[in-house]
Amino acid sequence: MELLGGVVFRSARTNVEQDQRAREEAHLRSEIEALKAEHARAHAERKAKLQAKIDDLNARLEKKVEEQKARSEQKRREIEAKLKALQEKAAKAQGDAKAAINARITQLREEYERSETKVRSAAAAGLRKTADEIEGKKAV
């Protein structure tokens, strides 16, 4: 890639996946809002079709949210299992080996917390946007 004058950016796979899921959810939310706006302006026969699309997009969004919850729970269980195994290993180890294992335990906990914070922040941003939109409609 460098020979062609390009630049390679490296990122952890989990970060890329989380960003992709957040973009997909944001896209679905924006589609829903656009359809709701069109629904408000549409005539009666068109409203039924638009409402069906809105309901479909809401179902897809809900599915994405549930998948994210399931992924988070699975990841939490995996991290807990890894931590338990490392803690058992650390209890039997001595000296430098024990210090290295304890460092790995700390690293795993920090990575998990960063990942969960990012997911929670994305979810909170989506909720804030939805709440702002609802408040904006009430004010009008």
CB-based burial of residue 68 (10 Å sphere; 0-12 exposed, 13-18 middle, 19+ buried)?
Answer: middle
pTM of the model: 0.58
For residue 67, being part of any structural domain is answered with yes
CA within 13 Å, CB half, 56: 8
Range(s) of the domain holding residue 34 = 22-121
For residue 4, being part of any structural domain is answered with no
pLDDT of amino acid 140: 45
Q: How many domains would you assign to the chain?
A: 1
Q: What is the pLDDT of residues 65-110, one digit of tens each?
A: 899 889 889 989 999 999 999 999 999 999 999 999 999 999 999 9
For residue 33, being part of any structural domain is answered with yes
For residue 93, being part of any structural domain is answered with yes
For residue 83, being part of any structural domain is answered with yes
Q: Report the C-alpha gap between 115 and 134 in whole angstroms.
A: 29
For residue 54, being part of any structural domain is answered with yes
Average pLDDT, the chain: 83
For residue 7, being part of any structural domain is answered with no
Q: Report the C-alpha gap between 80 and 74 in whole angstroms.
A: 10
**Structure letter (DSSP) for residue 42:** S
For residue 35, being part of any structural domain is answered with yes
Q: Report the C-alpha gap between 27 and 69 in whole angstroms.
A: 19
Contact 32, 54 (CB under 8 A): yes
